Structure 1
Amino acid sequence: MKGLKKKRRIQIILVAVVALAVSTGLIGYAMQDGINFFRSPSQVAEAPPSQTETFRMGGLVEEGSLRVELDDSIVFNVTDGGATIPVSYKGQLPDLFAEGEGMIGTGKYINGVFQAHEILAKHDETYMPVEVIDALKEQGIYQAPNASDS
């Protein structure tokens, strides 16, 4: 009788371990496309990601670089002061998107161009994403907005 209880306990523990391993694997697989790492233009220039990797890149939209191509794609440069990366985007830009302002895009780096499928711009006059602020501070070009500008 004791041997049967011990055998049953071992079976239950093994089933629990297998179920835990399978559920962990499924969660990891499901999150595979949902995790996007942030990179600054300098990080992209130093160590370009693979063409299949989706990631977020942010910085300031370079003055004078914004233009619309014949195929209706929007092309501009993003900089953090240390490097400048060209960006191509098809779609409608956010209302507050402008040259000299902060932005974050999600997409892939293909043949030296960041192909964005989503563009986020600041949501008011004073907001800038933390990742962009950190990247600009690293390059020594971040200027905090004046309280009197609000």
Structure 2
Amino acid sequence: MYRILAAVGTDIERARTQVEYIRNLPDASTNVAVTIVHSYVEEDDANTPVDESLPPEESDAVIEVRSQLEAHDIEVDKQEIYSPVDRGILDAAEDVGAEQIVIAGRKRTPVGKALFGSTTQSVLLRSDIPVVVTGVPE
């Protein structure tokens, strides 16, 4: 079984690009398993403490990804990440033995990247496994 870690944010349209990529992989319904990760700490609030004893609410994007993948008979499980987002994605990928990370791109201005950092860029630069960045819907 080929294990993919799908790092899903809150934007449903970007999440759909991840589903489209995954479901179009060869033999996805029989040979692909997906672990969805979602950070319950906003990227801008990574230093804000989170009460991990409370169950988080799933974002609409996470619900959409899970239901769409299951509708295509793709095995799915989910993990929450609470650490800084990029580190959480990389740690989760290692924990589940992922062979690939699928993350949705986001349009950001150069100033926005300088002010807030880029989770996608950090994951791309630090990952030891392939990272696929799906397109940004127009």
Q: TM-score, normalised by structure 1?
A: 0.29
Looking at secondary structure, tell me which structure has more helix per residue. 2
Looking at secondary structure, tell me which structure has more strand per residue. 1
Rg: which structure is higher? Answer: 1
Q: TM-score, normalised by structure 2?
A: 0.31
